[in-house]
Structure 1
Amino acid sequence: MRKKTILILLITICIAFAMISSASAVDVGKVNVKSFGSYTVNLTNAPDAVKKPTSYGRSVKFVSSKSQETVKNTYNTRNLKGVNARYTFKTTYFLPSVWKKGKSLGTVESSAIKGNYLYTLVLVKHNSNKGFIVRYNMKILNKEGLNKSGDSAKNLRRIGMLYKNGNTKLSAKLTRIAKAVKVGPTFTTGHGQSLSLNPKDGNLYMWQDTGSSDNLKILKIDPNKIKPVKSYSFKMWNTGSNSYVRGVHDLAFDKDGNFYVEIVYGASKNLPTGAIKIYQGTITGNKITGKQAPSVISRGPGAYKKSVGQGIGINPVTNRLFILTDGAFYSMPINKLMDGTLTKEDMGYTILGTVREFESITFDSKGTAYLFVLRGSEILQSKDPYVGITS
């Protein structure tokens, strides 16, 4: 009788799990994207586009220290014609390239900030479409001095190398630091450059962009479990151009919970080569809406087909949207972007003095900018200088 009761219980649990699993996948169907016409903002005052370097740079002491860096890097805005928004980015954390059981953390594609937590999306290997999320407790890292130059700055990488070499017996200090790192389960991510926080509901989201078809899928990710808990499948039909929206890779949310997508276009009858359309959307329950920004940007900060778009981000304090490429980024006020009054004078142009590969730009609730770069993996921060823009 007891065995029968246990069997019934197991069957009940399996049925419940199956119901939860099926409920977590929502087929939204066709989403009609509102189009209010468009006009191109010609960025004739922008600096020259940044081209992809012949080879990406590395952190100054990454190789000589065998990744065990202790001196923070600093990158300043270059003094070039057209550059009108100045930043100084300085390393906050040197992040590990390996972790427990030799798990590689080197192929980071995007990052997000929520409160005291830094999240990074890591691919299992380059172009694998499989990955996982790593969460860092910044409050603990700062308490242990990892945000300052000196011997403590290398401790995340030091722990990673100890794990890789089979040494799991850590000192009390290193044990505290190790507990600040949580590695989530592997799931199908797609390219992975779209991890983003929705400040409105407190969840993380990202595209599961495994291809370039009309079929889109966005994942809702629990920031505590750091794994997908819901997926939305749909198509976005642009009613103005009578075509489906494709090539979706980037994602960012504003403070009101609206999401934004950047699409780069080739030359056409109506658009110049490298023109950027931006779409705004909402996710409410199981419903998704969308509309196209009437302001079309004539080109990105990088040369089309010669520099890779690396992501977008939104400052929740200034409500500006950032478009990132390697070595440079643009920014613009969202209200003017969406109401069709954006001009070239509203744009912020920044080029930094480095040829390292950029992966994401994100912001905390106070408006501080965080820039993720590779070789080795590190995140740098800067105060956002925007109180007004001077060209």
Structure 2
Amino acid sequence: MSHTYIRHAQALDVLVVGAGVVGTALALALGRQGFKVGLLERDHPAPFDPGAETDLRVFAINHASQRLFQSLGTWEAMVSRGVSPYEAMEVWDARSPGRIRFEAAEVGEADLGHIIENRVIQTVLWEALEGADVLRLCPASLAHLDVSGERVRASLDDGRVFEARLVVGADGARSRVRSLCGIGVDVTRYGQKAVVANVSTERPNPATAWQRFLPSGPLAFLPLADGRSSIVWSTDTESAEALLALDESSFCRELGAAFERRLGEVTATSARAAFPLAGSQAKHYVRSRIALVGDAAHTIHPLAGQGANLGLADVAELARVLAESAGRDPGDLRGLRAYERARRGENWVMMRAMEGFSGLFGSRLAPVELARGLGLNLADRLPAIKNGFLRRALEG
């Protein structure tokens, strides 16, 4: 793709760096609010192919994230491209008789959320940018940032220069924006990898999200629209590498045994992949004229599937704060600190909670195993506790 280079800096209200789900949703929201937005990304999204294999990366989108997509006018297009609602969630422990089941009907809802492919969300959001005041800067990379006075001067690797009143880092766990601004990050490496694949089973997945807590980590089966399941198997790094090395039939046997064959035998699997697990929190979400969202600000263990929802909650809050600054300076530090106060504490609590769950269910101490089994069974029998937890998960 050719570019027309300019010697002077082009002015923007907001430059969003990173066009993943979180960054693109934010750019779209701000463009719809009337800000002049630039969205910077290294690569063009791949064209959507409806006949392609289901994406290995899927998200369990809760009701709060669904409302955000509805407010952006993108939800119906996502549904038309393919989403899989789930109506129940079942969790059980491999080393105790503990079990708990959640059902949407118990709280008067049609579903508990939707499983959506990353590529579906990405494609729909990207296409929606055409109707918003968003300049798509792609393919290009950020080379340098100079924060001074009322503007941030952003230099790209292709020689173009932009000046923005606010730069938002939505560029992932290895954020270039965060690095260039000297914002530190606290990282906890879990010594685990998540093995992901799409699998077929003897019986189709009945719109249920399943999770079994094994001593080495949780195993999740998430329902896909075609009756298959997207699996996320978190385990120690050595075991994850061994699972990747197995042939298809051996992997299916191992997976079926780990899942207690709740849907019968695992009969087939797609290609498999694995990614390392770590929790992180940026020491600051904002600086003067800089804000971080999504994985650039925080990452968590995937056992509850809340990573994308937390990032989209960042989007909703930052967009709300900036909407209130309409007519004023979007890079004003007072407004940005309001965003940080609203999000950083909640994200930190969620990260620590997921670590606590992982540690609790990973313990092989007999008293701990007994206590967690009793706890799960007790919670399953107390509707007020169970439904309160469910409501919190639905709304984010």
> TM bucket by the smaller chain?
under 0.3
Higher helix proportion:
2
Q: What TM-score do the two structures reach when normalised by structure 2?
A: 0.24
Higher strand proportion:
1
Q: What TM-score do the two structures reach when normalised by structure 1?
A: 0.24
